[in-house]
Amino acid sequence: MELSTIKEKIFTIRGYKVMLDFDLAELYGVETRVLKQAVRRNIDRFPDDFMFELTKEELENWRSQFVMSNESNKMGLRYAPFAFSEQGVAMLSSVLKSKKAIQVNISIVRAFVMYRKHLSDYGDLREQITKLENEMNLKFKDIHQALNYLLQKDKVLVDQQNRKRIGFKKEGNP
């Protein structure tokens, strides 16, 4: 099972990174209704942070983000799908007990770990960029002040040359 295929099936819903029941059913090689039935029979193993059912609004929002037509009703989306967090996916291995389910679970958990590592690396990179921007702003501020000083100095010199001289003039001086 390719991790890139699994990563494409990970979405952010309610602030959780989740996989939807029909994608998981496809990966496990079972029908969505079979997966949902197994989960409902073992619902105590799936607290809200492991699995939740999408609301109508969330389902419509998800469909619009992925430009899904109403034909998706024929694909098993007549009912709101279950969304499984990483922990929920891990719990599925105890509910779906086939060898394929175990192998798929291992791949999915690896994909979640890789995804989390990627986000962590991205966060580190963002911190470094922010630090550089702050340093550069300080340097640019110094350069800006120096340029303004030089521009002001030139203006003062021009003003001094154009001013009327006071005092006595020597002969031969204009």
Domains and CATH numbers, the chain: 3-125 (3.10.260)
Rounded Cα gap, residues 77 and 84, in angstroms: 16
Provide the residue-wise pLDDT of the chain in tens; the chain has 174 residues. 566 777 788 888 888 889 899 998 888 888 899 899 999 999 998 999 999 999 888 888 777 766 554 444 444 467 789 999 888 888 887 787 777 777 777 777 777 777 777 766 666 667 777 777 677 766 667 776 777 777 676 566 666 666 676 777 677 655
Question: Which positions ≥6 away from 83 have C-beta within 8 Å?
Answer: 11, 13, 14, 16, 18, 19, 20, 21, 51, 52, 53, 54
Instruction: Provide the angle, in degrees to the nearest 10, between the axes of the packed helices 86-95 and 21-28.
Output: 50
Rounded Cα gap, residues 118 and 165, in angstroms: 71
Tokens, residue 140: 């640019």
Global pTM reads 0.57
CB atoms within 10 A of CB 89: 23
For residue 76, the model assigns a pLDDT of 47
